[in-house]
């Protein structure tokens, strides 16, 4: 059994999760403090990939990154690098589809934060940066970690946008999701079933982790109250 699809899926999911972890926290922290109207508009824009069909997301990325498009052609001519049909092309797709999960979860955690704790820190002469890292992040860590786990699971299982942007080449761009589809197309139900079981097992572990984190977060809130 060729384990490349598992390795490729895990590294794509890991890299994209690392990216959306910081991007999601940054966006959630600042947007949560904006006026309601502005926050609502940005919320729609940043959450849109969560409700759009993955093929629509893939098509939009091809319009942006394709070798005959302005950005894609500029990168190709300047650096000699193609932004599509490589293994790391899938990272662009997984970042877009996983970002809303991280952003929404982190924003919910920040909005539930008791700001009197931050005010107390300011009265002691602490900076906003110190308060964020030493007070707000520890209090919100359970929700933020839950968002990261959900983003990883979403990136691991992404198919539609990934297949359009990265394609399917065994040993180069194949992921678990695209491999399952290709095995099904060639009537290899046994091979497809093996990869389905692998994906189900990994997803179940991460969903269990999310449930545990949410349980701990509820317990922490009760203790604080």
| Per-residue pLDDT tens digits for 165-202 | 999 999 899 999 999 999 999 999 999 999 999 988 98
Contact 104, 147 (CB under 8 A): yes
Q: What's this model's pTM, rounded to 2 decimal places?
A: 0.85
How would you classify residue 131: left for phi > 0, otherwise alpha for psi between -120 and 50, otherwise beta? alpha
The pLDDT of residue 225: 56
Question: Each residue of 58-106: pLDDT tens digit?
Answer: 999 999 998 888 888 888 888 888 888 999 899 999 999 999 999 988 8
Contact 145, 87 (CB under 8 A): no
Place of tokens 């970690």: 145
Question: Each residue of 103-122: pLDDT tens digit?
Answer: 988 888 888 887 788 888 88
Q: What is the C-alpha separation between 120 and 217, in angstroms, rounded?
A: 22
Residue 137 CB-density burial (10 A; 0-12 exposed, 13-18 middle, 19+ buried): middle
Q: What is the CATH number of domain 4-224?
A: 1.10.3720.10
Average pLDDT value for residue range 1-11: 89
Contact 20, 102 (CB under 8 A): yes
Domain boundaries, the chain: 4-224
- What's the whole-number average pLDDT of the chain? 87
């Amino acid at each position: 059994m060729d384990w490349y699809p598992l390795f490729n899926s895990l590294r794509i999911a890991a890299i994209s999760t690392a990216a959306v972890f910081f991007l999601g926290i940054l966006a959630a922290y600042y947007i949560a403090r904006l006026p309601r109207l502005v926050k609502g508009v940005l919320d729609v824009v940043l959450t849109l990939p969560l409700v759009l069909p993955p093929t629509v997301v893939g098509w939009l990325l091809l319009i942006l990154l394709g070798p005959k498009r302005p950005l894609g052609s500029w990168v190709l001519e300047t650096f000699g690098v193609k932004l599509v049909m490589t293994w790391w092309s899938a990272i662009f797709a997984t970042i877009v589809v996983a970002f809303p999960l991280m952003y929404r979860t982190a924003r919910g955690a920040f909005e539930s934060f008791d700001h009197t704790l931050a005010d107390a820190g300011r009265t002691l002469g602490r900076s906003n940066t110190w308060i964020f890292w030493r007070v707000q992040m520890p209090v919100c860590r359970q929700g933020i970690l839950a968002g990261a786990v959900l983003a990883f699971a979403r990136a691991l299982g992404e198919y539609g946008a990934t297949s359009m942007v990265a394609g399917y080449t065994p040993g180069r761009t194949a992921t678990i999701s695209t491999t399952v589809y290709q095995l099904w197309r060639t009537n290899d139900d046994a091979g497809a079933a093996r990869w389905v079981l692998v994906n189900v097992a990994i997803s179940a572990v991460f969903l269990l982790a999310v449930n545990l984190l949410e349980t701990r977060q509820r317990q922490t809130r009760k203790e604080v109250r």
